[in-house]
Structure 1
Amino acid sequence: MQIRSLLLASAAGLVAVSGARAADAVVIAEPEPVEYVRVCDTYGSGWFYIPGTETCLSISGYVWYQVGANGYENDFQQVGTNPVTGDPIIRDLSNDTPGYVGKRTGDGWIKSTRARVNIESRSETEWGTLRGMVRFQADWGGVTRSNSTALAGSPFSDGPVSIDQGWLALGGFFAGYSESAWAASFRGGATNFGSHSWGGMYYGYAQRHQMSYTFFGGNGFFATLSLEDDALAGDGYVPDVVAKVGVNQGWGSVWARFGYENDITGLPDSAPGIDHQSGWGASLAAQFNVPNSPGSSLRILGYYADSDTRFSSGSALDVAPEWSILASYNHQFSETLGVSVAGQYFNNLYLPGTDISTDVNAWGAEISAVWMPVTNFEVRPEIHYDKVDDLDGTVSGFLRFTRYF
């Protein structure tokens, strides 16, 4: 009897202990489901949804390495006389050809490296596509003068990262810092930029703060009106204005532009002894695609300016001509190789910041090629030549290797 009571007591104790341990047991929560990144195919390849949102994001960019050279022998020369002070106008001709990063005075190979990252977001709203874009960029390369002033950053130090562009858009509304609508309007397609090369010859490239609206109609028609920052030149409350209309279709494109510059001197109204005046420029251009040869096309661009306004083609002397014409042809020999040639004539260059003609003419030419032996890897050589009346001809060029992503 005593043994039976002992067994029952022991069993009761074990049950009590087991209950106490069960009450103190650690409960491991079930893992929450993970929302993996979803592909966003609304805008083509390379887009994905930001987790938890209906916003699509794209990350793209490139890295290039470039070796360039130039045959500039003019360096500093007088190109005119200041109509206000009578002082000679001296221009550093070694720095005037656009597009050739790291081109500086001095004999030898000029190396440069660039890294660029674009981050763009898009989402659909009842007012159209909502967009935002930020571009980060860093450049290495260049040489220094004897006074140790860096011209393009020391080639032996890290390249400073900066935000090259930042803008937002909703439907046809666009605002931010990007290429001027004169050079590249919002969603302008083939109507943007100059020749087929990376340098583009001369077409008035500039980046500006701006606010614009683009109307997109049927059959590829569009019209843009852009109000652009003039850095408080002249009347600081009056912006520069660009208007552009064009058509993009399968056969090619045609477009016209008009630009009004509040003050061509680039100085505020308060600047003493300056004859402040406005200026304007206009352009008519077309691109004709070659039938049965995808990627091949002929571009012809004509420019007129009433003064040294930025709304012009520009030129090798960094001043506007009264008129200019640019012709460029690109032939796509295969999916991986294209070659282009271009020429441009400049008639009657203006004195800087005035409407005074110099009767000086100029012309330029270029040849370029793009070879992509594998996807997203590009080899691009370009050679550019400039000739201004009474000045020596100048040659510059580069060989560039680019990896896109």
Structure 2
Amino acid sequence: MKLVKSLLLGSAAGIAAVAGAQAADLPSRKAAPVEYVRVCSAYGAGFFYIPGTDTCLRVGGRVRAEYTVGTRYGSGQDAYGTRSRGRLNVDARTATAYGTLRTFFRYELTVSSGFYGGTTNGNQGVIAPGTGRNTGATTASNLDLAFVQFGPITAGRAQSFFDFYANDFGFSTLRTADSRLNLLAYTATFGSGFSATISLEDRNTGTGVRENGAFGRFTGTGLVLGGQDFPDVVASLRVDQGWGSAQLSGALTQRKVLSTFNAAGVLTQGSADEYGFAIQGGVKINLPMLAAGDHLFLQAAYADGALGYLGWGGQIGPGRLASATTANQLLIGDIGVSVLGNTKSSTGWSIVAGLRHFWTPQLRSELYGSYSEIKLGYLAPAGFYAPGAAIRPLDPKEFIVAGNLIWSPVSGLDIGVEVLYTRTELASRVLAVNNAGNRIVGVGIKNDDAWAGRLRIQRDF
């Protein structure tokens, strides 16, 4: 029996050896290598290597649903509105011998109705009651950002290097500098969080109403904008450290005024270059002693001939002006009237404050506001003032304050409500406007209070 078992096992081993030898002589086909997507941890969460390259990519975005209701001067100015927005972010980065090469773009599509028809100040849109109730729906597309960063160079459409508190809090915007525009900038870093930037910026491409826009008229004397010979020059000095951040920035802008004549054909203004400027200082203070993630913004700015750097890109206050009228365009101009060759620029200043506090890791509140004053230096045209009103520059003063409560039940999801209050005071009584944005003859107002409320549901990914 043992002999039979040994013979059987020996035969099986021999057959296996012969079969293995024959198989080794046959041609074989290897499977093509599979290239898996690899996680890239060099630039934070969400990045992965583009297969076959050393470039890290992150694709993200946002979907926002928003609903608002508000009251403006006169019952005809009350309205509601809705808004839906979709955003796509694409961020690609590559490590090079010269530093990180980064390309980034953000594209948005927005559908708005009602109260949102009167929003100003660009992408985020401040609810500015009084621009006329728009009951129709509008669809807008916006290339919000598109830039290349290579070492110290930033080129393309990016956040202005003048900006500091760029409406970081809340559902609405304040009177503050916040613009994405075409620029070319160089940033030098000095260590310990210090950096300095010099930037050439095209304000004509900004997200807000450009501040070098229309110019007014006064007793037949006109100011005609003749363009610019160079873009605005912006410089900033910034520090980012564990306690927070601080920045000091300044801007210089040119305005070319062409020769104009009055109705009698007499020369009232020769060609000349006018210059405006703005300065701004801000600080962001982290407050971990209150709660993780808490911080406070404080900022102040002054502008002479460049009111857009204060956020004055739209109408003067709620309940007064039609957004498309010559009168409205006059009031947002930076350079005032010219009388016998003397040009006077508009000046203004603003202060901004904002606080974010986490009640729990999922529940937070934001309280923010701004106060600003501007001196226009010139008068509104005939037919603008209320009957019996003193004819003087309007020189508006504006106060905005808002607060919200936001719940984030899961990461990336915000559900919040907000209340916004705005008060504007003018130096003289002007005609009110109706819900179509037309001035009402005989009805004059000098100050106005406006309220707005919002509900927002937003998912970032």
Instruction: Sort the TM-score into its range (normalised by shorter chain).
Output: 0.7 to 0.9
Which residue of structure 2 aligns with residue 394 of structure 1? 450
* Aligned equivalents of 1:388, 1:315: Cα separation in 2: 15
1:346 to 356, 361, 372: 372
Aligned to 1:58: 58
Q: Which position in structure 1 is the counterpart of 2:239?
A: 247
Gaps of 5+ in 1: 1-26, 76-104, 184-190
Shift of 1:241: 1.1
| Greater CA drift, 38-47 or 198-207 | 198-207
**Residue type at the aligned position of 2:275:** S
Q: 1:4-403 alignment to 2 at 5 Å?
A: 30-73=30-73, 107-143=78-114, 154=137, 159=139, 161-183=141-163, 191-194=164-167, 196-231=169-204, 234-263=226-255, 272=260, 277-292=274-289, 293-314=291-312, 317=315, 319=332, 322-350=348-376, 358-389=394-425, 390-403=446-459
Q: Equivalents in 2 of 1:261, 1:74: separation in Å?
A: 39
- The answer on whether the counterparts of 2:79 and 2:114 sit within 8 Å (CA) in structure 1 is no
Deviation at 1:270, TM superposition (A): 5.6
Go from structure 1 to structure 2 and tell me whether the alpha carbon gap of 1:58 and 1:272 turns closer, same or farther (over 3 Å shift): farther
Change (3 A) 1:351 1:120: farther
Tell me the distance in 2 between the aligned counterparts of 1:106 and 1:28.
81
Deviation at 1:215, TM superposition (A): 1.6
**Structure 1 pair 129–192 and aligned structure 2 pair: CA distance change class (3 A):** farther
SS where residue 365 of structure 2 aligns? strand
Structure 1 residues 366 and 44 mapped into 2: Cα distance closer, same or farther (>3 Å)? same
Larger RCO, structures 1/2 (Cα 8 Å, 6+ apart): 2
Moved more, 228-237 or 107-116: 228-237
CA contact (8 A) 1:74 1:392 kept: no
Deviation readout 1:93-143 (Å, 9 max, x if unpaired): xxxxxxxxxxxx864431110000101100011111000012121111214
Contact 2:286/2:296 (<8 A) preserved: yes
Which amino acid in structure 1 is aligned with residue 376 of structure 2? Y
Question: What is the rounded CA distance, in whole Å, between the counterparts of 2:350 and 2:378 in structure 1?
Answer: 17
Q: Could you tell me how far apart the structure 2 residues matched to 1:271 and 1:228 are?
A: 27
In structure 2, runs of 5+ residues without a counterpart are 1-26, 118-132, 205-211, 213-224, 262-268, 317-331, 333-345, 381-391, 426-445
Alpha-carbon deviation of 1:217?
2.1
Q: 2:158 is aligned with what amino acid?
A: S
Q: 1:38/1:153 Cα in 2 relative to 1: closer, same or farther (>3 Å)?
A: farther
Q: How many residues align?
A: 332
- Cα distance in 2 for residues equivalent to 1:178 and 1:153: 31
TM-score by length of 2: 0.65
What percentage of residue pairs aligned between the two structures are identical?
Answer: 27
Contact 2:200 2:232 in 1 (8 A): yes
CA deviation digits over 1:277-325, x for unaligned, max 9? 2211111111222242222122211111123432224377455862111
CA RMSD of aligned residues (A): 3.3
Cα gap change, 1:345/1:163 in structure 2, threshold over 3 Å: closer, same or farther? closer
Verify the 8 A CA contact 1:315 1:321 in the aligned structure 2.
no
Distance of aligned partners of 1:176 and 1:398 in 2 relative to their CA distance in 1, 3 Å threshold:
same
8 Å Cα contact 1:261-1:310 kept in structure 2: no
What letter corresponds to residue 362 of structure 1 in structure 2? E
Structure 2 Cα separation of the partners of residues 366 and 121 of structure 1: 36
Q: Deviations over 1:236-255 (max 9, x none)?
A: 43110111112111112221
Partner Cα separation in structure 1 for residue 166 and residue 236 of structure 2:
13
Offset, 1:349: 3.9
CA distance in 2, matches of 1:195, 1:44: 21
Distance 2:150 2:303 in 1: 33
1:396 partner amino acid: A
CA distance in 1, matches of 2:153, 2:59: 23
Residues in 1 aligned to 2:373 and 2:285: alpha-carbon distance in whole angstroms: 25
Structure 1 length normalisation: TM-score? 0.73
Q: Which amino acid aligns with 2:294?
A: S
Distance 1:284 1:66 in 2: 32
Q: Distance in 2 between matches of 1:241 and 1:339?
A: 37
Structure 1 residues 182 and 239: alpha-carbon distance in aligned structure 2, compared to 1, 3 A threshold: same
